[in-house]
Amino acid sequence: MSEGLPTPDYSLSIEQRESVYEPAEDTFLLLDALEKDIKKLRALDARIVLEIGCGSGVVSTFVAQNLGKHAFHLGTDINFVAARCTRQTARMNRIELDTIQTDLIRGLRLDRVVDILLFNPPYVPTESEATTDIERTWAGGPTGRGTLDRFLPEVPRLLSSQGVFYLVALHQNDIPSLLNHNEKELKGEIVMQRRCGIEHLYILKFSRI
């Protein structure tokens, strides 16, 4: 849990909890990593912040609250209930942001303009692919990287020259291979790691070389 910067207020209804991922250890680890980097993030003077799979909206709202007012915040989610939940969380905290219901970044025209990119993907290795909305929030297929591996090739196209990409990952996702997934264009580093019960979680950060 963040100690210095406040966590946004949020409230998920019973209906929302059936299909939207509730903030958990992984969410809070990402918030802690963003808090640790907050001075650097503020110094970016970001124009466009994009979160993939914005879910409850806690992460996007946290960034918007703590970055200062001058950025434009966008979130995407494949689940309409989650896209609406993010708007609700933002409004609850008097933050302006927009959400789009789509698969990853389909329909977005954001070539090389994203200054801060965020993704807490479904990272848990599972025998089969997800079939329901709530499974889709965590089930990552056999490697835990089913959704992530579809997204990673898009990252260099999205990031601005100063852009940074924060990613939540699990030890079993193969951290070394993630860090080097695109050595020609991106450099990766571990910002934070934490054992939470049976999960060994990482926050990775990528920027342009």
Partner 1 sequence: MKLLTHNFLSSRFLKNVATGYPLLLRVNEKELREVEFDQDFVQNIMPKVDYNCLVSTLMAIGEQGALPNELPENWRENEELLKELHRVLVKIEVIVGELECPESGRVFPIKDGIPNMLCQEDEC
Within 10 angstroms of residue 46's Cβ, the number of other Cβ atoms is 22
| 149 Cβ contact partners less than 8 Å away, ≥ 6 residues apart | 143
Q: How far is the CB of 159 from partner 1 (least distance, A)?
A: 14
Report yes or no: 171 and 202 within 8 Å, Cβ to Cβ: yes
CB of 56 or CB of 173, closer to partner 1:
56
Strand duo 199-208 + 159-170: pairing = antiparallel
From the list 20-28, 105-113, 163-171, 200-208, the region that binds partner 1 by CB under 8 A is 105-113
What are the E-state strand segments in 7-105?
48-52, 72-77, 98-101
Candidate segments 4-12, 34-42, 63-71, 139-147, binder of partner 1 by CB under 8 A:
63-71
Does 48 help bind partner 1 (rule: CB under 8 A)?
Answer: yes
Q: How far is the C-alpha of 104 from the C-alpha of 152, rounded, in Å?
A: 10
* 92 lies in the site for partner 1, by CB under 8 A: no
Question: How distant is the alpha carbon of residue 107 from its chain centre?
Answer: 18
| Among the listed residues 40, 106, 150, 157, the single contact to partner 1 using CB under 8 A | 106
Interacting residue with partner 1 among 5, 38, 44, 113 (CB under 8 A): 113
64 binds partner 1 (CB under 8 A): no
Are 81 and 15 a contacting pair, CB within 8 Å?
yes
Quote the least distance from Cβ 191 to partner 1, whole Å: 26
Q: Taking contact as CB under 8 A, which single stretch among the options 16-24, 108-116, 150-158, 185-193 is the one that binds partner 1?
A: 108-116
Q: Which two tokens stand for residue 172?
A: 């079993």
Residue 109 sits in the site that holds partner 1 (CB under 8 A): yes
Stretch that binds partner 1, among 28-36, 80-88, 116-124, 150-158 (CB under 8 A): 80-88
Provide CB contacts within 8 A for 177, sequence distance 6+: none
Euclidean distance between CA atoms 150 and 66, whole angstroms: 30
Which residues of this chain interact with partner 1, rule CB under 8 A? 45, 47-48, 69-72, 74, 78, 80, 83-84, 87, 96, 98-103, 106-110, 113
